[in-house]
Chains A and B, each alone.
Chain A
Amino acid sequence: MKNIFIPAAFIGLFIFTSCEKLLFDADKSSNDPRTNFEYLWNEADKKYSYFTLKGIDWDEVKVRYSDSITDGMDEQALFRVLGNMLNELRDDHTNLVSPFDVSVYNVALKKEPNYYERTIREHYLPQVMHTGAFTHNFIEGDSIAYLRYSSFMNAVTKEDLDFILSRYKNTEGLILDLRENGGGNVFNIPLIMERFTSERTLVAYSKTRSGPGHDEFSAPESFYYNAHDGIRYDKPVMVLTDRGSYSATTFFSLTTKAMNNVTLVGDTTGGGGGLPNGGQLPNGWNYRFSITQLLDLQGNNYAESGVPPDILVSFNWSDLSRDEILDRAIEELRQ
């Protein structure tokens, strides 16, 4: 009897362990071009959030790009087809990432830029202070504060904001320059905005794709700012934006519409109101695309194509000694 225990146990283990392959679905890894094409198209079809709003016929896109998929195509050719297919979504939150390239829609390049850093440094602020993620100084004597925040990827700290807002507490107004700020961490938005409100404020809604139908979404979720319990700034604030103001900056800009003391000056933002998720194809390449929609307090759904400014002003590239958008913000604060 003793002699059969170990063999019997090992046979039992072998049977159960072998079941593993039967218990799981088949291995789905594949370098087959059509398999990867179908997988990516299906994932976007199931979860992308802006088909209807942008009037995209995704089935027609599939038919058109499917003709470009051939069995023997190399990976660079496949990347171009898949990347171009994703660019049909007209969304910079949509990328295909391979080891050799990243597909980008480049929404900022579709329109004129409205920011030239050297103009500000040479003609407005030869000296600036660098505090954390911000560059800043007085502008127009000591009456107005200028803050430049170039990316929401850069961390915002309480100490930085306490120092900056204390320094400018006696100014008549503050200019926050978010032009060409391509976005980043959404949690940096309330850190700044809660300095500009004295009460809890509902500022936006967001809803998430929740089913296979292109218009199936969850109930809208609310986005609030709370009044910061500490140093705040209650004077008028001018926020400068342009087409390079994307993603978290679009989110930030949309919420200014709900705040009486904050005015948007410059050009329409680049968009990117949807929060992107991430995934992987059967060949190991990565992708991402938007799965949510951002709405203003009236339920308007314009954030994906950009938040329009309250005061539309363009940079005049024929005279680099002046920044017309900054000039207009200063003028507004002087009134």
Chain B
Amino acid sequence: MKIVINWTVLILLFAPFAQAQKEQKNEKKADGYSEPESYLLLSSGGGYYQYRDLATSPLFYSGPGLDLSLAWHREKSKGEKTFLLATSFGVPNAQMASNTGFAVKSSAMFSHSTLSYSHLRNISRWNKGKWKFWAGGNLTSSFNLRMNKSLGNNAVGIEAFVNLMASFKVGYDLSHERSGTRKFLFIFDREISPKKQFAHFKLNAGLLNWNYRPGYAYKEMPELDGTKTNPFQFAFAGYDWSRNGYRLGTELSFTKFNESGNAVQWAYLWDVIHAPGRFEPFQMAMHRIKFTLFFNRK
């Protein structure tokens, strides 16, 4: 029954996108609005990661990490869609209460990978002046792989998350259309030339949140079929999908285009996940600074 409800909600949420695509095709034929812009996005960056798996430890593990991502982004006047493949990795340390005795050191290897599809529609009636607004959805699938030797048989931990999220985006056009001078630091005159640049703020909020978490005892022993035992089945015995928890994310970005139609973007991203699973929750937060090159694929 739960599966039927989940699929029904999924279909209802994505039906408007399918309809919108159909309408866009028809509109293009009818009014021939401007050609869409398509970009290949290459990103790198770094950030601060924090997680806690209460099935094995009450402690937060946190520390710096690196990010890489690849995306395909398509913009039209009526909306935009993005496919994203991203991975992050780091070596976080356990955050412990201050101790005057023999200090405990515990670190882990952590990686977080994401595959997502985002589809936003411009809300044209809300647009005013240089402000533009979008709303839509985002289907995100993420996978964590953690290794912490001090946890013995639980040294390897995984989590998976699938989130259907509502997205809202607001943009402000910071472009200069003409050359001229402008005060810099209220004192100096600065020459400015025509530029196309934008600032955006995006919010993603999970509507349907699934997570893949361990069973009651973290290390369940499944059927052992001699040397033919499936190592994946053995490692993740007892894991199961749950639909609970939440995921929230924000993104503040500044994008600057050059004359060739390519662009660069600086962005700050915040992502937080709470996955209760069936028994003990997993929680994580990521703060990332990302630099992206936009390659126009006309």
Contacts and interface: CB of A to CB of B under 8 A. Distances in A.
22 contacts: A2-B130, A12-B250, A16-B248, A16-B270, A20-B270, A20-B272, A23-B272, A29-B97, A74-B101, A98-B104, A191-B227, A206-B224, A208-B220, A208-B221, A221-B224, A224-B223, A226-B227, A278-B150, A278-B155, A280-B151, A283-B97, A284-B106
A265 to B, nearest CB: 24
Contact of B150 (A30, A200, A283, A286): A286
A294 to B, nearest CB: 9
B270 A13 contact: yes
B277 to A, nearest CB: 14
Interface stretch (A3-11, A125-133, A175-183, A324-332): A3-11
B218 interface: yes
B151 A206 contact: no
B40 interface: no
Contacts of A228: 227
A250 interface: no
Given A13-B270, A210-B217, A276-B152, A5 B199 contact: yes
A280 B153 contact: no
A27 B60 contact: yes
Contacts of B274: 23-24
Contacts of B112: none
A contacts with B: majority SS: mixed
Interface string B270-298: 10101000000101010100000000000
Interface of A: 1-2, 5-6, 9-10, 12-13, 16-17, 19-20, 23-25, 27-31, 39, 47, 74-75, 97-100, 186-187, 190-191, 193-194, 200, 206-211, 218, 221-226, 228, 275-286, 288, 291-292
The 3 closest A-B pairs by CB, nearest first: A278-B152, A284-B104, A28-B58
A244 to B, nearest CB: 21
Contacts of A283: 96-97, 99, 104
B233 to A, nearest CB: 11
Contacts of A5: 172, 199
Nearest to B220: A208
A284 B94 contact: yes
Interface string B92-104: 0011111101111
Interface in B191-217: 199, 201, 203, 215-217
B93 to A, nearest CB: 10
Contacts of A279: 56-57, 151, 154, 218
B66 interface: no
A10 to B, nearest CB: 7
Contacts of B57: 279-280
B115 interface: no
Contacts of A286: 106, 150-152
B225 A226 contact: yes
A197 to B, nearest CB: 9
Interface of B: 52, 56-60, 94-99, 101-106, 129-131, 150-155, 172, 174, 199, 201, 203, 215-229, 238, 246, 248, 250, 252, 268, 270, 272, 274, 281, 283, 285, 287
Given A194-B227, A211-B216, A279-B57, A31 B99 contact: yes
A288 B216 CA distance: 15
A226 B223 CA distance: 13
Given A24-B283, A226-B227, A285 B104 contact: yes
Given A16-B248, A30-B97, A275 B56 contact: no
A79 to B, nearest CB: 10
Contacts of A208: 215-217, 220-221, 238
Nearest to B270: A17
Given A1-B129, A29-B60, A98 B102 contact: yes
A13 B220 CA distance: 41
A291 B56 CA distance: 13
Nearest to A193: B226
A50 B288 CA distance: 46
Contact of B153 (A19, A39, A275, A284): A275
B228 A13 contact: no
Contacts of B252: 9-10, 13
Contacts of B227: 187, 190-191, 194, 226, 228
B43 to A, nearest CB: 19
Contacts of B174: 2
Given A2-B130, A194-B226, A24 B52 contact: yes
B150 A280 contact: yes
B96 A224 contact: no
Contacts of A39: 58
A12 B201 contact: yes
Given A20-B285, A24-B283, A226-B228, A99 B103 contact: yes
Nearest to A209: B217
Nearest to B155: A278
B153 A100 contact: no
B100 to A, nearest CB: 8
Contacts of A187: 227, 229
Contacts of A13: 201, 250, 252, 268, 270
B56 to A, nearest CB: 5
